[in-house]
Amino acid sequence: MHNKTIKELSALLQSKQVSSVELATHYLDRIEASSHNAFLHLDRERTLAQASAADARIAAGSAGPLTGVPIAHKDIFVTRGWRTTAGSKMLANYESPFDATVVDRFAKAGMVTLGKVNLDEFAMGSANENSAFGPVKNPWDPLAVPGGSSGGSAAAIAARLAPAATATDTGGSIRQPAAFCGVTGIKPTYGRVSRFGMIAFASSLDQGGPIAQTAEDCALLLNEMIGFDERDSTSLTAEQGNVVEDFSRDLNKPLNGLRIGVPKEYFGEGLASDVESAVRAALDQFVKLGASLVEISLPKTALSIPTYYIIAPAEASSNLSRFDGVRYGHRASEYKDLQDMYRKTRAEGFGREVQRRIMVGTYVLCHGYYDAYYVQAQKIRRLIADDFQAAFADKCDVIMGPVAPTVAWDLGSKANDPVANYLADIFTLSTSLAGLPGMSIPVGFGQGEKNGKRPVGLQIIGNYFAEAKLLNIAHQYQQVTDWHTRAPEGV
């Protein structure tokens, strides 16, 4: 049962071959028996109550395609009745009085919440080792990281602990963990998915999206996620192009004539040979499906790392200033005065990586450094976006390349080297800085540091509002390959 896709589970539920209660119970039992540390909070009674309500909707004939299907929510989305920690000691016991828009939309669609999944603290990380509640283990190799920050979401799908999971992508946090765990994930165009109720890291970059086994499943999930939300000031309106649409409408379109841009900067020094081999083989498969390959250049790619790590920490330092121990969250137990309480509360509540980014962000926003760092970074951000537009204007329809330079690394191997973690995002950051949609699909395996079997992901990047095109391309590839169907040993 747990190896079935969302589409398959939906058909079983609608035909009443299985009930939502039976399905939820099956997944809860698997979660409780797992050792991946993917889930942070379960509430069996609440989950089964939602499942029972879904069964009633199905019986009444008022169910939608996702009614009764279980889903896991990244613990960055606030949820009424469930703890929302953002992977931080700062919010260890926090319960929101309302649901995030994304959570609410899935609830209205009849999906059943299994629980909240682990993540890097406040979504800051590339390995899911920064969580205050311990690292997530990659289901393919327990010695490996699952990627981050949405490592809990990706690991839950790979280990078949859930058929669907929400995630967020600030600099690659949907695509990279999806690649490391051998599953499918898509980051929509910035502003298409509401950020209301998503605990903010970097407001001009954060974007929600789904992770699942297949592109078809992601299309079904995206149908519910996308749409204007007046409560989110960064939400795009229908007039701006953010129309509610059926993302599965073009899944079966042939790829004849598709022009795939292959950036030369993505295949240079630093790219592991096993990753390159798997990606090149996937590109060859697309040629067999009727596409053509075009070499392109994205010359500002190398600048995406310093640009991102100025802009994102600057926005984080502002967003996280609200966690001061006064209104909610952790508060130091002993302090002399208000200033001492602020200092101790934030020192105790935030982990090392969060503290590091707050300090960097505060520095670049200081008087005398703002123009030299933050303003310059924003100018380079525009140049990075212009590189993509030049490629899409007359050279290619989509862009493809590796998601990351290597397969997942060993747990702890980069824990004391933050720069090494930052460099691992070289191929995903520019897409986020430009606000473009991008996705990751599994295309093979490489060898880990202990010669373990570790997945490789292919990144597909489109122009603004091209999510349906990306899903079509991914779906056509998945119709002739089986990488997306493979599961870790023992699953």
> 173-192, pLDDT tens digit by residue?
999 999 999 999 999 999 99
74 is catalytic: yes
Beta bridge partners of 457: 442
Query: How confident is the model at residue 327, as a pLDDT?
Result: 86
Find how far residue 399's CA is from the centre of its chain. Answer: 19
Lowest mean per-residue pLDDT among 20-29, 145-154, 227-236, 321-330 = 321-330
Query: How confident is the model at residue 453, as a pLDDT?
Result: 86
**DSSP reduced 3-state for 138:** strand
Determine the straight-line distance between the first and last CA of the chain, rounded to whole angstroms. Answer: 11
What's the CA gap between 285 and 330, in Å, rounded? Answer: 52
- Of the chain, the percentage scoring pLDDT greater than 90 comes to 93
Q: Pick the catalytic residue from 20, 34, 88, 149.
A: 149
What's the CA gap between 195 and 100, in Å, rounded? Answer: 8
Q: Is the pLDDT of residue 449 over 60?
A: no
H-helix or E-strand spanning residue 112: strand 112-117
Q: Pick the catalytic residue from 7, 10, 34, 74.
A: 74
Cβ neighbours of residue 410 closer than 8 Å, sequence gap 6 or more: 143, 144, 145, 448, 449, 450
Q: Is the pLDDT of residue 452 over 70?
A: no
- Of the chain, the percentage scoring pLDDT greater than 70 comes to 99
H-helix or E-strand spanning residue 440: strand 438-447
Q: Can you tell me which residue has the tokens 């490996």? A: 144
Lowest mean per-residue pLDDT among 133-137, 228-232, 449-453, 474-478 = 449-453
Query: How confident is the model at residue 417, as a pLDDT?
Result: 87
H-helix or E-strand spanning residue 113: strand 112-117
> 392-414, pLDDT tens digit by residue?
999 999 999 999 999 999 999 99
What's the CA gap between 315 and 162, in Å, rounded? Answer: 32
Q: Where are the domains of the chain?
A: 6-257, 302-375
Q: How many CB atoms lie within 10 A of CB 422?
A: 17
Query: How confident is the model at residue 447, as a pLDDT?
Result: 80
Q: Pick the catalytic residue from 19, 20, 96, 173.
A: 173
What CATH homologous superfamily does 6-257 map to? Answer: Amidase signature (AS) domain (3.90.1300.10)
**Token pair for residue 468?**
């349906």
User: pLDDT grade, residue 441 (50/70/90)?
Assistant: very high
149 is catalytic: yes
20 is catalytic: no
What's the CA gap between 21 and 3, in Å, rounded? Answer: 17
Cβ neighbours of residue 15 closer than 8 Å, sequence gap 6 or more: none
User: pLDDT grade, residue 448 (50/70/90)?
Assistant: low
Q: Is the pLDDT of residue 367 over 90?
A: no
User: pLDDT grade, residue 328 (50/70/90)?
Assistant: confident
The per-residue pLDDT of the chain, averaged, comes to 96
Cβ neighbours of residue 268 closer than 8 Å, sequence gap 6 or more: none
Residues in the chain: 491
Model confidence, pTM = 0.96
Angle at 94 between CA 89 and CA 95, to 5 degrees: 155
Query: How confident is the model at residue 354, as a pLDDT?
Result: 97
Query: How confident is the model at residue 380, as a pLDDT?
Result: 97
